[in-house]
Each structure stands twice: as structure tokens, then as C-alpha cells.
Chain A
């Protein structure tokens, strides 16, 4: 579909991890054993990644917030700039009393954090960290991520309802309204890169941005004038989807005390916390994969075939995603919070029509290119 696709950048096939396992495990193992081992190992990797990420991100968030607000943030735990603060908090949350209200709807209350975290984990399987570093290279990767990450909403609603607290219920209902509305602009805003790359696979999109010595990112491509506004639209919708300020209405601490997780404590609260950072990272990673060249950076192609290639590619991808996570934090500590009806108005009156307009423009651009360059 795209004329700009360099011929070398055919989408890599298969999953690096399964290939690796297939090589390591003894021959003659049944297929399901391989698949099961792959699944367990992938889960362990993703869970460890999210746990470390959440810890790092909490620390980062507090430092970013602190320095933006002309203060230091945590400084006392650990030697250097309170680096162990998140670790200490994690331990504290683990050993804290796990309170379940007597009036709570116990099954829902207990299930909610699990649903929330497991959906966030599930979405990570379709995320390409490197050329082959993907758990499941789905043809419909983007579709899968959008679909699975919206199940989080169920968890939040369960938490809000199960807590038997009016503030929590408000948070849950806001989440339901907000996320359901923002699925539309989020999905639509992803259509622009999808049209450009002609694929719903993130791995494919990443491979297609490796041209120009690793700088053929969507935002630098011929369609940059579509890419930049469409990224702004995507980013706004992603903020709403991940309940980040200015769209943090489900928790909005100055109105709803702490929203849907008011009644949670200890490790259950930590699950919600990890989910928030996992979701932030997930959305940033999707943005990176589609707009900012996934794992590509200048010079990476020179290392092709060496041992360094895969780790550097993964590092580049994670760094770029974390930069976007930083931008999310930066936005959070700058702007006030929107009201629920304005969230709806923004979603339906601004983001959705603008996304449709961008889709029209992107489609016309592909058409113009096809006519002009005969691709």
C-alpha cells in the first residue's frame, strides 16, 4: 500500500522467544509443552518488567513532580535522590494490613485488582520490544491491545461497586463513561499510522520504520503533517484511556477523595498502582511503535547480525516509551482537571471529528501519492 516501504524491511516472522526456547529445550517435546513453557517464561518476563517499570515510574513521577514544583521529591530512602523510595513503598504495601470492608461485595472487591492488573499484563504480549522480541506477533496487534486494555474498565467498575462507597461508585461510573467514549477517538487516531503502514501488526510497523538509517519514523515521513496532529489526538485519547491527568476523573482526589480505590489498601492498592503505570507504558509504547520509529534509531542497522543488536533495539524502544511516559507526567503536573461533561464534550465534539478529518486527509494523501508517484 505504501510507496515509502523500503524493500528490505519485510516484517520479521515468528517470535524470538519461542525460537530460542525451541532451540534450548530437548527435542521430542510435544508442541503444547513448548507453548506452555513459552507462556510461563513470557509471563515471568512481562511481570518482572512491569514490576520494575512501576517502581521506576513511581520514583520518576515523584521526582518529576518534585522538581517541577521547585522541590526535591523523595530524598531520604536510599543514598542517591531517594532511589529506593519505590522499593520501600512496595515493601510497605506488601506488609500492610489488607482491609476488606465488611459491607463490601467481597468477591468483586477482591477480584477487581486482579482483573485490572491481568488485563494490563495481557496487553503486553502484543508489544514489540525489538525486531523479534515480541511474545505473540499478532496480525491484529493494535486491535488486540486496544481491545484487551479496555477490559481494565470492568475491573475499575468492579472495584467501585464492590467497595460500597459512594465516592468509589462515582469514580467507577466516571471511568465507565470516560473510557467507553475515548475508545472511539483512540481507535480512530490509530488509523492514520495503520493506513500509512498498511498493517495492524506493531512488529510490522516497527520494521517499516527502519529505513533512512533508522530515521524513517512516521513523524518524519512524507506524511509528517498528518502524523504530528494525529499523534496529539492519540496522546490526548491515551491520557484519557489511562486515567491520567487531566483526565484522572475516576480518582480525582480533590473531588472523589481517591475515587474507585478509596477503600483499597496494601497489595490490592499496589495492583491498581501498577496497572496505572503499566497502562501508561503500554500507551506510550504503542505511540512509540507507530509514530516514533519503534526500536529504530540512527546507526542501529549497522549492528545488524551482532549480539548487540537486539539489546540495543530493546533499550531504544524502552527509552523512547519512557520519554513519552515522562511527557504524560509532565502534562499531569501542568494542567488542571477537566469536568466529566467536558471530558465527554472533548471526546465527542473535538477528538472524534478531528480524528475523522485526519483519516480523510491521510486517505487522500495515500491516494494522491498513488496517483502522483504511481506506487
Chain B
């Protein structure tokens, strides 16, 4: 019989009736255990119908907070298998996203891409079953939009307008300054006095 303490002495009764007794007894004990389990509730879950909840730290398919991402490539550099690829154009502070893709044929869900992120914008999600008949489906696109959003366009326009305005203001100021300087030229000796 099973004890959590190691049995004191090795048991090796190999006599004729000892063998018969051991065979009958151990088979009976084993059949008792299996018979008990025949009537207990199964441990398994019926997978596609019922799914076990995944834990908060679960490392599933990534999700990206695209509006936070600054396209620094830190995650791509940290990846041991080079499965992260991204492309974007910078328009001043705004990013025109082309793609941010992860190749799940390569990804090994190690979470090493999450740690170096300065903006904490790439995370491991809760989705885990990536079932497909086409290998190319494993190349997942994480961006929710490509190109520029209206907001971004607006902000770029604003920024450009602001920039233009600033430029104009600067030019104006410069002109004014020059004018002032020109006007103040005769006063130069006064400055020199100081």
C-alpha cells in the first residue's frame, strides 16, 4: 500500500503463492480505484463548447495600443525570433502607419517584446487558438488603422497651420525687428554708451 514515507524494507516476495497473492491483490486494488473513477465527474472540459477562463497574465496573441506607439522598434529588436515587423512614416509628431505585423509562425510567446516598450503599448492578449488552413493567416496585422486618421490629418493640418502661422509670425517679427533695427539705427551710439 502506498505511504508517503519510504517503505522501511525492500519488499520482494517472489514465492509462488506470494506472486499469486500479489497479482490478485494488486489487480483488485487497481480495479477498485478505476471503478471509483468510473462514477466520478470527468475532469476534462468539452473544449470548443466550454472554454476555461485564462488568467490575467496569460500570454496569448498580442494587442497593440496603436495611438500610444511611437515606432521606436524596441520590441522588434528585443524579439529573439524576429517576428515583429513594422513600418510607418513620420509627419512631425504624427505617425502614418503602414503596418505592424507579428508572424505567429515564428512567435514563441515569450513576452520579451513587452518589457522594453517605453510607452507600454504592446501587450499579450487572452486569445490563444489561432486555427487556420492557410499559413499566411499567421501573419497578423496588429494595427487597427493604416495611413492617417482624420484626427491625425486634422492635427497635422493644425500643426502645419500652427507652424505656418509661427513661421509667418517669425517672419513678421523678423521684419518688425529689422524695421525696428533700421529705425533704431541712429540710436546706436546711445547703446554704445551703455
Direct contact of A and B (CB under 8 A): yes
A residues near B, CB below 8 A? 64, 66-72, 75, 232, 330-331, 333-335, 350
Q: What distance in Å separates the Cβ of B37 from its nearest Cβ neighbour in chain A? A: 6
Contact of B31 among A66, A71, A331, A350 (CB under 8 A): A331
Contact at A70–B34, with CB atoms within 8 Å?
Answer: no
Chain A residues near B30 (CB-CB < 8 A): 334-335
B residues near A, CB below 8 A? 19-20, 24, 27, 30-31, 33-35, 37-40, 42-44, 46
Chain B residues near A67 (CB-CB < 8 A): 37-39, 42
Contact at A334–B44, with CB atoms within 8 Å?
Answer: no
Interface of B is mostly: helix
Complex Cα–Cα for A72 and B27 (A):
24
Chain A residues near B37 (CB-CB < 8 A): 67-70
Q: What distance in Å separates the Cβ of A104 from its nearest Cβ neighbour in chain B? A: 35
Contact at B46–A72, with CB atoms within 8 Å?
Answer: yes
Query: Nearest chain-A residue to B30 (Cβ)?
Result: A334
Chain B residues near A330 (CB-CB < 8 A): 31, 34-35, 38
Chain B residues near A334 (CB-CB < 8 A): 27, 30-31, 33-34
Contact at A70–B42, with CB atoms within 8 Å?
Answer: yes
Complex Cα–Cα for A334 and B31 (A):
6
Given A334-B27, A350-B20, does the pair A71, B34 have CB atoms closer than 8 Å?
A: no
Contact at A75–B27, with CB atoms within 8 Å?
Answer: no
Contact at B38–A71, with CB atoms within 8 Å?
Answer: no
Complex Cα–Cα for A334 and B28 (A):
10
Complex Cα–Cα for A284 and B13 (A):
33
Q: What distance in Å separates the Cβ of B46 from its nearest Cβ neighbour in chain A? A: 6
Q: Can you add 17 more A-B contacts, CB < 8 Å, to A72-B44, A334-B31, A350-B19?
A: A66-B42, A67-B37, A67-B39, A68-B34, A68-B35, A70-B40, A70-B42, A70-B43, A71-B42, A72-B46, A75-B46, A232-B24, A330-B34, A330-B38, A331-B27, A331-B31, A335-B30
Complex Cα–Cα for A69 and B31 (A):
12
Query: Nearest chain-B residue to A71 (Cβ)?
Result: B44
Complex Cα–Cα for A69 and B36 (A):
11
Q: What distance in Å separates the Cβ of B128 from its nearest Cβ neighbour in chain A? A: 21
Contact at A333–B34, with CB atoms within 8 Å?
Answer: yes
Chain B residues near A333 (CB-CB < 8 A): 34
Complex Cα–Cα for A75 and B34 (A):
21
Chain A residues near B31 (CB-CB < 8 A): 330-331, 334
Contact of B44 among A64, A68, A70 (CB under 8 A): A70
Given A334-B27, A350-B20, does the pair A72, B34 have CB atoms closer than 8 Å?
A: no
Chain A residues near B42 (CB-CB < 8 A): 66-67, 70-72
Name 9 interchain pairs, CB-CB below 8 A, sorted by A: A66-B42, A69-B37, A70-B44, A71-B42, A71-B44, A72-B42, A232-B24, A330-B35, A334-B30
Chain B residues near A64 (CB-CB < 8 A): 38
Chain A residues near B27 (CB-CB < 8 A): 331, 334-335
Complex Cα–Cα for A160 and B114 (A):
57
